């Protein structure tokens, strides 16, 4: 296939899939390498296909996260649907598995954390579900960063390909399921619409199964039947095949592969919490999957069932198991406490340094003042001038140009981090109070102000959620006092803004865990 795409040259084919071909190319205008994904089924596209393609591409291009391969451009040209993306100098997880045979548990957790973090961002900011998580769509670049590819594109690609197959089949009622059989969730296999993050969680579980074991789910079956087995059948427990895997990691994959959607994780944040717990040799937050309520695609073997790490809830554990858990939790808490202690030491050192510097300055200033008073004749005390405002508005004149220049200067300083959000908001409020400014300039200032407020609120919510998760984690493991103190005496970012909600959650924690 000879490519002729205006603005790009030096084409080199680097990948071939069922729905698309990937080429490495040079973007002439910026002289940079890019990856161009071209849909295999691009021919005979109609207006509906093109509209869908452009809509999906715009959403994908709006994603900006270090764990997501950036989309630069998208166009329909010469009967080809083309996505221009960041070129990642690295390898896919699929290539990594082929070179190694299988990966270790720690490597699997590292990849899972990167994927979960990226998908958490995509869902919280754009309500996006990937729909095709698999080893071929996850990469590790030369710096060791996990990157998810095709995020925001898979549903659009699938929709276009599905429409084409239905048109070719001459049966408009035919259901064509999009997804990779070895990694597709049961709800996708059944052709359900309105997929939620839990569909990607199932696919992540199938991918981890492939990574740790070196083979796909249901690999001994024909590919045409695998999708049906995702809905109806079970495969072997990896605990019976891999000697260096922990029961907690198996419990994690078992929950991800639950055939019942509501028995998987509620949010990606919950997935990340359990990844951290497993990495510290701690059990899952909710324990293993309750087999009276759900069935997992990975069956639970007798060997894992008899393991002392397998339990229904923390309260139902035997004394011996509880002692082991207590030792693990103690190690985790000690490590966590050491990190917090080092942070406190740094803050205290800064405070002591500042206090010492302040005392020195005060002493010097007093000495200079006393000498000045003793050696100089008294002068009439004059009132200090009021500190000048950011701009000096002209009464009765058009202040649009003056305010526009001042706004752009503040905007530049805020973007580069020279001034804080609070300072920028104060200055924007001052600009809005200046008379004789045209409406267009006022609207720009109001838009910038609202953007900062929204970002401020999002960061505040993120900090508050992290505090709540940490406190819940501590209380759940018996440290109720520590959980309450972590909320009530928090003095980090957004301490003042989150005070009321922290106190309310602290009371809730104390009430719910009063018997612990």
Looking at residue 381, what is its pLDDT?
Answer: 37
Per-residue pLDDT tens digits for 63-92: 889 999 988 888 877 778 888 999 999 999
Model pLDDT, residue 297 = 96
Supply φ then ψ for residue 190, to 5 degrees. -85, 0
3-class DSSP state of 23: strand
CB burial of 198-229 (b: ≥16 within 10 Å; e: otherwise) equals: bbbbbbbbbbbbbbbbbbbbbeebeeeebbeb
- Which helix (H) or strand (E) covers residue 456, if one does? helix 439-476
In terms of pLDDT, which residue wins out, 345 or 28?
28
Taking only the tens place, the pLDDT of each residue in 219-265 is 988 888 999 999 999 999 999 999 899 999 999 999 999 999 999 99
Between residues 179 and 180, which one has the greater pLDDT?
Answer: 180
Whether the predicted pLDDT of 26 surpasses 90: yes
Q: Taking residues 450-466, what's their average pLDDT?
A: 83
Between 353 and 472, the higher pLDDT residue:
472
Band (374; pLDDT cuts 50, 70, 90): low
Res 167 pLDDT > 50: no
pLDDT > 70? residue 270: yes
The enclosing H or E element of 478 equals none
pLDDT value of position 423: 84
Q: What is the torsional sign of CA 447, 448, 452, 455? A: positive
- High-pLDDT (> 90) share of the chain, %: 34
More confidently predicted of 1 and 257: 257
How much is the pLDDT for 312?
A: 40
Q: Is residue 387 pLDDT above 50, yes or no?
A: no
pLDDT at 359: 74
Residues 121-133: pLDDT tens digits?
999 988 889 888 9
Residue 356: which pLDDT band, with cuts at 50, 70 and 90?
A: low
If you average pLDDT over residues 399-420, what whole number do you get? Answer: 80
Of 416, 491, 484, 498, which is closest to residue 456 (Cα–Cα)? 498
Which domains occur in the chain, in start order? 90-328 (1.10.510.10), 400-512 (no CATH)
Top-confidence residue, 195 or 516: 195
Residue 20 has pLDDT above 80, yes or no: no
Stated pTM of the model: 0.59
Segment 423-442 mean pLDDT = 86
Which residues face 25 on adjacent strands?
34
Q: Is the pLDDT of residue 311 over 80?
A: no
Distance CA 87, CA 13 (A): 13
* pLDDT band at residue 337 under the 50/70/90 scheme: low
> For 95-119, how does the pLDDT look when each residue is reduced to its tens digit (9 = 90+)?
999 999 999 999 999 999 999 999 9
What number of other Cβ atoms are within 10 A of residue 509's Cβ? 21
pLDDT of residue 319: 36
pLDDT of residue 236: 95
Q: Which residue has the tokens 């959403």?
A: 59
Q: What confidence tier does 454 reach under pLDDT thresholds 50, 70, 90? A: confident
Confidence band, pLDDT 50/70/90 cuts, at residue 18: low
Q: How confident is the model at residue 315 (pLDDT cuts 50, 70, 90)?
A: very low
Kindly report the number of other CB atoms within 10 A of residue 4's CB atom.
9
Tally Cβ neighbours within 10 Å of residue 173: 6
The overall average pLDDT reported for the chain is: 79
The three-state secondary structure class of 493 is coil
Element (H, E) at 76: strand 71-77
Give mean pLDDT, residues 452-459: 80
Distance of CA 481 to the CA centre of its chain: 30
What pairs with residue 27 in β-bridges? 8, 32
The residue ranking higher by pLDDT, 314 or 182, is 182
DSSP 390-452: S--PPTTS--HHHHHHHHHHHHHHHHTTSS-HHHHHHHHHHHHT-SS--HHHHHHHHHHHHHH
CA distance 341 to 395: 56
Q: With contact defined as beta carbons under 8 Å apart, do 287 and 214 qualify?
A: no
151-155, 293-297, 433-437, 480-484: least confidently modelled range? 151-155
């Amino acid at each position: 296939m000879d490519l002729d795409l205006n603005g790009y040259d030096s084409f080199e084919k680097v990948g071939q899939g069922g729905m698309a071909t990937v080429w490495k190319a040079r973007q002439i205008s910026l002289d940079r390498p890019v990856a161009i994904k071209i849909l295999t089924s691009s021919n005979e596209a109609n207006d509906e296909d093109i509209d869908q393609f452009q809509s999906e591409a715009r959403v994908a291009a709006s994603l900006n996260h270090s764990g997501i391969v950036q989309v630069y451009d998208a166009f329909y040209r010469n009967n080809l649907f083309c996505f221009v993306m960041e070129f990642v100098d690295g390898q896919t997880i699929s290539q990594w598995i082929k070179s190694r045979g299988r990966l270790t548990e720690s490597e699997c957790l590292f990849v899972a954390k990167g994927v979960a973090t990226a998908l958490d961002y995509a869902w919280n900011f754009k309500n996006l579900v990937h729909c095709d998580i698999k080893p071929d769509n996850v990469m590790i670049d030369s710096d060791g960063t996990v990157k998810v590819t095709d995020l925001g594109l898979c549903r659009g690609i699938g929709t276009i390909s599905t429409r084409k197959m239905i048109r070719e089949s001459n049966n408009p009622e035919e259901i064509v399921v999009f997804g990779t059989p070895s990694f597709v969730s049961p709800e996708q296999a059944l052709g359900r619409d309105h997929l939620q993050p839990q569909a990607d969680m199932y696919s992540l579980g199938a991918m981890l199964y492939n990574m740790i074991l070196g083979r796909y789910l249901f690999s001994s079956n024909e590919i045409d039947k695998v999708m049906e087995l995702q809905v109806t059948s079970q495969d072997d427990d990896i605990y019976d095949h891999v000697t260096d895997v922990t029961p907690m990691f198996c419990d994690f994959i078992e929950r991800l592969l639950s055939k019942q959607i509501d028995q998987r994780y509620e949010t990606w944040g919950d997935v990340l919490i359990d990844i951290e717990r497993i990495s510290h040799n701690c059990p899952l937050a909710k324990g293993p999957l309750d087999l009276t309520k759900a069935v997992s695609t990975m069956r639970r073997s007798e060997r894992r069932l008899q393991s002392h790490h397998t339990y229904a809830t923390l309260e139902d554990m035997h004394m011996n198991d509880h002692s082991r858990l207590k030792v693990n939790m103690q190690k985790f808490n000690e490590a966590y406490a050491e990190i917090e202690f080092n942070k406190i030491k740094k803050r205290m050192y800064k405070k002591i340094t500042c206090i010492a510097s302040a005392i020195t300055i005060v002493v010097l200033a007093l000495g200079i003042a006393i000498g000045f008073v003793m050696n100089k004749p008294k002068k009439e005390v004059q009132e200090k001038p009021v500190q000048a405002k950011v701009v000096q508005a002209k009464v009765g004149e058009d202040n649009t140009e003056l305010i526009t220049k001042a706004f752009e200067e503040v905007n530049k300083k805020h973007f580069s981090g020279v001034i804080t959000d609070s300072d920028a908001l104060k200055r924007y409020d001052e600009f809005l109070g200046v008379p004789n400014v045209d409406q267009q300039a006022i609207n720009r200032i109001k838009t910038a102000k609202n953007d900062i407020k929204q970002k401020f609120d999002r960061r505040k919510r993120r900090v508050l959620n992290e505090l709540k998760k940490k406190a819940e984690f501590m209380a759940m493991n018996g440290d109720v006092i520590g959980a309450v103190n972590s909320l009530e005496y928090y003095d980090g970012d957004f301490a003042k803004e989150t005070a009321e909600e922290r106190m309310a959650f602290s009371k809730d924690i104390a009430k719910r865990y009063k018997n612990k």
